[in-house]
Amino acid sequence: MKAVRYFSSLAQQFVREKPLLPEALRYERPTKIGGMKNGIRIISESWKSDLSTIGIMIDAGSRNEGKKSGIANLAGNLLLYGTKGKDANTLRKSFEDLGANIEINVKRDNTWIEINVMTEYVEQVFKLLGEMLSESNFTENSVSQAKKLALEDCENSMSIPSYTLHENIHRTSFKDNPFGNFVKGNSKTIRDITKSEIVDFATNLYVGQNIILSTAGGIDHDTISNLAEKYLWRIEKGQKAEVEPPNYSPNCIQCRTDDDTTYLAIAYPGPSIRQNQFIAFQLLEQLMSNPINLPYLDYPKQSNYLHSMFGQIGGLISHHCVLTNYSDCGLFIHFLECEPISAPFLGSAVVKAMLQVTKEISKEELLRAKNTFLNRLLLLEGSSQVAQLNANQLRLLGSKRSRADVASSVVQYEAENLTKVYGPWLTSSFPVVGIYGKMVSENIAEIIYKDCGGGKEK
C-alpha cells in the first residue's frame, strides 16, 4: 500500500533544513549538585517561587525483587503507613496540615517520592521525610492492609487494556529477568509476599547509596543541604543496588476478550538513556506520532508516512508511541486501539513505517518532528517535572544535561544520520507484539509479522 503524503509545492519552498533553536531553551536556571557522607546525592534547581518540590529518588524498583513481583510496590506504599512515632493517620495528617501533597510512584527501576509544598513549610516536610525513611514501622497489620489495597489496585489495573498490554509487553520482552515483573505484582504473588520480604527489600535498598534528593522551585541549595544534614543523616549508607541487565526476547502474546475493540502493542528494542542513540529515539517518537490535531478522516492531508497509511486503512480509534528508557535497556512501543477487522492491517502499517525510517525520512516529517520535540522541551518548566528529570539524569548520567544541549543535538540530526541510527535497532530482530480484545482473525500476528523483513528471531 502506497502512503499518501500531502505537502503543497509552495509550502515545500519554505521548509527549513533545520528549525531555529528557541531563545528560551538557551537560558538555564542555576543547578547545583552536592552530597552527604551517607551516600545521598543532592541536586537542586532554584528560582523565585512560593512553591517547592522535594523529591526522593531511590534506585530500586520491581527489577530488584527477584521472581516474586509486587514487593517493591508494597514497600514503597508502606512508607505512608506510619513510623515508630506516628501511625498512618497521624503521618498523613501531618502532611495535610502543611498543605503538602505527597505521592509515591514505584517503577521498574526506581521509586519516586514527591512532595509539593509552600516554600515556607519545607523544613517541616524534611523532618517528616527523615522519619519516613529511617523510622518506617512495617507491622503485620499495616502489611495486611497494604496487601488488601494492592490486590484491589492490581485487579482494577488489569481491567485496563493499555496497562495490561504495557506490563505484558515488558514481561514478554524481558521474560527471563525480573525486569519483566509486573510492577504492581499479580493476585498470586501479592498474597504470598511476607512482611520479612518487604522489610528486607527496604532495609537493603532504601539506603544512602541508592538515594537522590532532588528539589526545584523556591528553595536554595545551601538550605537544602543543611536540612538534609539535619534530618536525613540517620539513613544508613548501605550498598549500591546491583542488577542483572535484561536481554530482549521477541515474541507474541494474545489475550482474547469480549471487548468490542482490539488493542495492539508493537514494541521494538531501544537504547538506554545512557546510550548515544537515546536522543535519536526521542525524535523517532515524534516522527511516528500524529503530526497535527486533525480528525482522523483528514489523514491524507497530513505529512506523515505512518498516519497516511492509517487513513487509507481506516478503523483506527487511537494511536500513540511510548519510549521507555532505563539504565541498561529500552523499548519503543506503539499502542493502538482499533476496530477488530482493521487490527492486522494497522499493525502491519506500523511495521512498514518502522522499516521505512531505516531507509528514508522526508524533510517535511523531520522538520515537524524536530519542532514538536523542541516545543515539548519548552514545556518542561514546572517544579515537579524539573525535580524528577534532574534526579533521573543524576542517577543515570551522573550529571544534569541542559535543555540547550539536548535541543542542539536534536537540531543537528540529518535524515541520513537518523536512518543509520535506526537501522541496527529496528531490523536486527522482530518486534514483540501484544494483542488484546476482540479478534476476528486467527492469524493477526502472522499478518503483522509478514512485513518485518530481516530479524534474527521470532
Helix (H, G, I), strand (E, B) or coil at 122: helix
Helix (H, G, I), strand (E, B) or coil at 424: helix
CA distance 314 to 302: 15
Per-residue pLDDT tens digits for 88-129: 999 999 999 999 999 999 999 999 999 999 999 999 999 999
- 25 versus 316: which is more confidently predicted? 316
Per-residue pLDDT tens digits for 124-156: 999 999 999 999 989 999 999 999 999 999 999
Q: Do residues 59 and 110 make contact, with C-beta atoms less than 8 angstroms apart? A: yes
Answer yes or no: same fold for 30-231 and 248-449.
yes
Q: Do residues 167 and 69 make contact, with C-beta atoms less than 8 angstroms apart? A: no
Q: Which amino acid is at 403?
A: R
Cα atoms in the 13 Å half-sphere on the side-chain side of 323:
18
Q: Do residues 296 and 370 make contact, with C-beta atoms less than 8 angstroms apart? A: no
Q: Domain 248-449: give its CATH architecture.
A: 2-Layer Sandwich (3.30)
What is the mean pLDDT of the segment spanning 240-259?
90
* pLDDT at residue 450, as a whole number: 86
How confident is residue 27, by pLDDT bands cut at 50, 70 and 90? Answer: confident
Residue 283 has pLDDT above 80, yes or no: yes
**Of 390, 296, 337, the residue nearest 54 (C-alpha):** 390
- Cell readout for 301 is 492531508
* pLDDT at residue 13, as a whole number: 44
Q: Do residues 118 and 99 make contact, with C-beta atoms less than 8 angstroms apart? A: yes
All residues at 6 or more sequence positions from 125 whose CB lies less than 8 Å from its CB, including other chains: 54, 95, 98, 100, 115, 117
C-alpha to C-alpha distances, 236 to 89, 109, 130, 206, nearest whole angstrom: 26, 21, 12, 8
* pLDDT at residue 124, as a whole number: 97
Per-residue pLDDT tens digits for 319-374: 999 999 899 999 999 999 999 999 999 999 999 999 999 999 998 899 989 999 99
Residue 293 has pLDDT above 60, yes or no: no
Q: Do residues 41 and 394 make contact, with C-beta atoms less than 8 angstroms apart? A: yes
The residues spanned by each domain of the chain are 30-231, 248-449
CA distance 158 to 187: 10
pTM score, whole prediction: 0.90
Q: Which amino acid is at 180?
A: G
Tell the burial category of 170 from Cβ atoms under 10 Å away from its Cβ (0-12, 13-18, 19+): buried
Strand partners, 433: 252, 266
CA distance 373 to 233: 40
User: What number does CATH give the domain 30-231?
Assistant: 3.30.830.10
